[in-house]
Amino acid sequence: MSKQTEYCVVMTTYLTQLEADTHAQAIIEQGLGACVHTSQIQSYYQWEGKVQTESEILMQIKTTCAKYSALEHYLASKHSYETPQIIQVPITVGLPDYLNWIKKETQSIKPV
């Protein structure tokens, strides 16, 4: 394993699998992320003074920290939520071959 700080996981949620699938495909095609995982989750949160619960789709995007700003802009501009969760979690250690693959897949913006 190798110590790294240039890689991260970006997380967001969507209301439907279709919406998550559409954005996952675009993120990969545009080179904003190397890999996207989606999972069904149950979210509990407070919104407008009330506790809410929703079935959502959690999206985890493996990318480089250098791509975070472009990815955040993409997610924020295309998201259906008023205030979407868009957070970056640094990857501090990982298999060098996997991290190199992330870097290779996100080297440049790919045509849409």
CA-CA distance, 27 to 97, in Å (whole number)?
A: 21
Angle at 79 between CA 36 and CA 66, to 5 degrees: 50
- Domains along the chain with CATH numbers: 2-105 (3.30.70.120)
What is the pLDDT of the chain when averaged over all its residues? 92
Q: Residue 12 to residues 45, 52, 81, 91, 97: CA-CA distances in angstroms?
A: 14, 17, 10, 17, 26
Write down the pLDDT at residue 3.
52
Predicted model pTM: 0.89
Q: What is the pLDDT of residues 55-79, one digit of tens each?
A: 999 999 999 999 999 999 999 999 9
What is the mean pLDDT of each successive set of 10 residues along the chain, which is 112 residues long? 76 97 97 97 94 97 97 96 95 94 84 52
